Structures are given as structure tokens and as C-alpha cells.
Amino acid sequence: MAAFTVIDHTEISTGGAAYWEETGISSSYDHLLIKASIRGEKTGAYVDSGSIRFNGLTSSVYSSTTLKSQTATPDSAREGARNSMDYIFWPAASTLADTFGSMTVWIPNYANTANFKQAIISTVSPNNSTTDNEWGTLITAGLFAQTAAISEVKIFSGHGTDLAEYSTITLYGVTGA
């Protein structure tokens, strides 16, 4: 049976925050799991796009393939040699008030030092609208092309705006799964 240990639980306070970050993650778990209820403060937009980085690396060691929908016609995107894993959606300031998106990030075998690291990211940016690009949903398969164990995770807006007050992010260490 899997055991889930809360490594960090953060609720963004008044005024928002530029990012969420956890450092010094122990390598004593089998996998990492992030669950978030999140909203961005990007003005003039319904959907904000976020990014994830590991171990503080900003070099071109990230790539991803994404299935996404912000219209009635889903599409895909592929990005390589990036400085972060991109294509993560959450509601922005123009979305219906008090609406938060859901995000799950699964990082299997994060402490293995023999292989590159994978991440499976799913996000939903809901809104009370059927208008194209005023909502979004996606699933991303990401690759972190490094063999070092992941000891730091950072989530931030790709537009440099803050994560909104009351956004919550919980990092779990998973063993036995």
C-alpha cells in the first residue's frame, strides 16, 4: 500500500507570491506528487500559463509534449531544449471570480541517479464560459534531461505575474507505490 507523506503544504497569502518553491527535498521517497488549487494574477487574460523547474536549473534541459484544449478543437504542442517545463494552465484575473484551477504533477523515481527524470502534468483552468481561450485543460509528458536526484521544485507563472492569494500547493513524498 502506498504511503503519502506531506513534505510541504503552502497557501499563498495576501498579495500573492511570485512563485512556490520547495528546496532540500529528501531522496528517501519513491516518487513525488504535487497537488495544487491555483489561480494567477495575470490581468487582461482568462488563462495564465505556468512553468516548472527542478534543482534551480535554467538551462535547456527540459522538453515536453502536450495535449491541450482551449477551443472545441483539441491540439498538441511539442517543445524541446527549454529552460523550464511549460504549458501548464491555471485561471487568470479575468476568469470568473474565486475560480481556481486544479493541477497534478507526478514525478516518478525522482531520486534515481541513473536516468533522466519524467513528469506527468495535468491541469484544468475552468471558467463559466464556452468562449475559446477563456478556459483550458491539458496533460503534459515532460522530460528533465538530468541524472541528479530532484531536490528542488519551483512553480511559477510563465508571464512573470503572481500566484493569487488562497492558491494552495501540496508536495507529497510517495513510498510503496
Does CATH place domain 3-175 in 1.10.8?
no
Output the CA–CA distances (angstroms, integers) from residue 142 to 77, 121, 122, 155, in the order listed: 12, 8, 11, 14
Averaged pLDDT, 20-24: 98
CA torsion angle for 62, 60, 172, 35 (degrees, to 10)?
Answer: -60
Average pLDDT of the residues of the chain: 95
> Are 151 and 27 contacting, i.e. CB atoms less than 8 angstroms apart?
yes
What is d(CA 153, CA 55) in angstroms, rounded to the nearest whole number?
A: 6
26: exposed, middle or buried (Cβ count in 10 Å: 0-12, 13-18, 19+): exposed
Domain ranges of the chain: 3-175
- pLDDT level of residue 146 (50, 70, 90 thresholds): very high
What is d(CA 105, CA 25) in angstroms, rounded to the nearest whole number?
A: 15
Look at residue 109 in the predicted model and tell me its pLDDT.
98
Amino acid letter, 8: D
Helix (H, G, I), strand (E, B) or coil at 174: strand
pLDDT tens-digit profile of 71-113? 989 999 998 899 999 878 899 999 998 999 999 999 999 999 9
Q: Does the structure show a pLDDT above 90 at 158?
A: no
Contacts (Cβ under 8 Å, ≥6 apart) of 94: 43, 44, 45, 46, 134
Model confidence, pTM: 0.95
With the C-alpha atoms ordered 22, 9, 39, 79, is the resulting torsion angle positive or negative? positive
Q: Does the structure show a pLDDT above 80 at 177?
A: no
